[in-house]
Amino acid sequence: MGDRVILGQVLALEGDPARLGVDSARHWTHGGVLVRDGIIAGIGDGSQIRAQAPGIQATDHGAGLILPGFIDAHVHYPQTGMIASWGKRLIDWLNTYTFPEEARFGDAAYAADIAELYLDLALSHGTTSMASYATVHPSSVDAFFTAAQARGMRALAGKICMDRNAPDTLRDTAQSAYDDSQALIGRWHNVDRLNYVITPRFSPTSTEAQLEALGALWAEHPSCLMQTHLSEQPDEIAWVKDLFPDARDYLDTYERHGLLGANGLYGHAIHLEPREIDRLAEIGAAVVHCPTSNTFIGSGLFDMDLSDRMRVGLATDTGGGSSFSMLHTMAAAYEIAQLRGRALHPAELVWRATGGSAEALGLDHKIGRLAPGIEADLVVLDLASTPAIAQRANRANDIWEALFPTIMIGDDRAIAQTYIAGMPVKPA
């Protein structure tokens, strides 16, 4: 892993601009990033960075904008092949599209092929890290981590656990969910840049015995994250109330079984009750906003004001989400916030897709920012990738006006390069 100087425009966010203010961001029109052994060693004025590293290989992206690599905090890599499937709401969508596709992952070769395809698509869209659900098959986790490891990526994943309300071919048991997850933790957790995530799909597909077993597993491995779904659609919430009549609310179905904690990732979290909001904030848990999924399957409008009280990540929710692109995801987050009366600044959108998602994953000390000591996973944006974007960017008065058109109507053509640990990796 060699040393490298990467030149271009550089935009560094110190933290959440909603709290620190947009002026806390630093922008260099002719900037540079110095990488040593896969770690950022310096950022700043390009000529000064070059002077710090005489003789080191330099890559000049000109007016390309260097950002931290995008971080997708909630994705289903096994749903790659069924993305953009027509016309269903959550429960019907699972039964019609998701479960039949996930059943194919009993074939380890098929799982390996989709893992390779998904990660190449992610990198081509500038996404350098993600937290993915696998399927009930342990080999689906092996396939994902093997492919991510070969690319040197920081990636997180876990075997889905389901022992009811799913096809027989996709069910495990309370004991096998515990045993399989335990073995996968031993095989993959904290190996290279990989982290295992304990993964009950959601309360409706787990018995109380399985939730209890996974809560016990999490207590044994508190450094692992735990990911699941929460309050995505009203009919789902009604189903949960029928299945767990003694629970105070949806969140309580996790809490009473040891599945509420600061290392918990709760996807969607659209229709939360006041007690749930208070409890998530009190415990220090993270929620993940999946805007294209929420609109695509008609779930509802996430409240970004939750970020005032808790960590909020951003995610494609690929399969349910309609794009592999975090640019598209930022655009959808902007539009949803507009419908709720809040105009998110471009700095806030970039933060959610980088440092905000890193915070949600508990990895902000490793990824998601441009700062010395942070791993050098980067994306370089072409801010004039199409004629429509270029003509708007040419009118810009500052970096935010130049960047916003790419956020709103950019796609993989805007990704000039993706770097993993300082090495260029964007697929051809």
Q: Which amino acid is at 15?
A: G
Round to whole Å and give the CA distance between 388 and 68.
Answer: 25
Q: Where in the chain is the domain with CATH 3.20.20.140?
A: 70-360
383-391 long-range Cβ contacts below 8 angstroms, 24+ apart: 383/63, 383/64, 383/65, 383/414, 384/63, 385/410, 385/411, 385/413, 385/414, 386/410, 386/413, 386/414, 389/414
Helix (H, G, I), strand (E, B) or coil at 383: coil
Question: Has residue 428 got a pLDDT over 80?
Answer: no
Statement: residue 363 has pLDDT above 80: yes
Of all helices (H) and strands (E), which one includes residue 386? none
What pLDDT was estimated at residue 89? Answer: 74
Closest CA to 332 of 107, 341, 323, 145: 323
Residue ranges, comma separated, of all CATH 2.30.40.10 domains in the chain are 4-69+368-424
Using CA atoms, how far apart are residues 162 and 145, in angstroms rounded to an integer?
A: 21
Model confidence band, residue 17 (pLDDT cutoffs 50, 70, 90) = very high
240-285 tens-digit pLDDT: 999 999 999 999 999 999 999 999 999 999 999 999 999 999 999 9
Higher model confidence: residue 55 or residue 376?
376
- The share of the chain scoring above pLDDT 90, in percent, equals 93
Q: Which residue has the tokens 């190996």?
A: 191
Give the mean pLDDT of 160-187.
97
The DSSP line for 295-332 is HHTT-----GGGGGTSEEEE---BTTBS-S-HHHHHHH
User: For residues 29 and 399, what is the distance between their CA atoms, to the nearest angstrom?
Assistant: 9
The pLDDT value given to residue 266: 98
70-360 in CATH: which number?
3.20.20.140
The mean predicted confidence, pLDDT, of the chain is 96
DSSP letters, 162-177, are: --SSS-GGG---HHHH
Residues whose CB is less than 8 angstroms from the CB of residue 54 and which lie 6 or more positions away in sequence, other chains included? none
Q: What torsion, rounded to 10 degrees, do the Cα atoms 321, 329, 201, 78 define? A: 60
Q: List the structure tokens of 404.
A: 């916003």
Residue-level pLDDT at 1: 58
Average pLDDT over residues 106-118: 98
Helices and strands (H and E) in the chain: how many: 17, 16
Determine contact, residues 83/45, Cβ cutoff 8 Å: no
Render pLDDT for 61-105 as a digit per residue (tens, 0 to 9). 999 999 999 999 999 999 999 898 887 777 787 888 899 999 999
The model's pTM is 0.97
Predicted confidence (pLDDT) at residue 229 exceeds the cutoff of 70: yes
What are the Cα distances from residue 328, in Å, to 286, 287, 331, 334, 408? 22, 19, 5, 10, 7
Is residue 259 within 8 A of residue 218, CB to CB? The reply is yes
Mean per-residue pLDDT, 297-302: 93
What architecture is domain 4-69+368-424? Roll (2.30)
| Residue 139 three-state SS | helix
Per-residue pLDDT tens over the stretch 188-219: 999 999 999 999 999 999 999 999 999 999 99
Euclidean distance between CA atoms 226 and 262, whole angstroms: 9
Say if residues 118 and 85 touch (Cβ distance below 8 Å). Answer: no
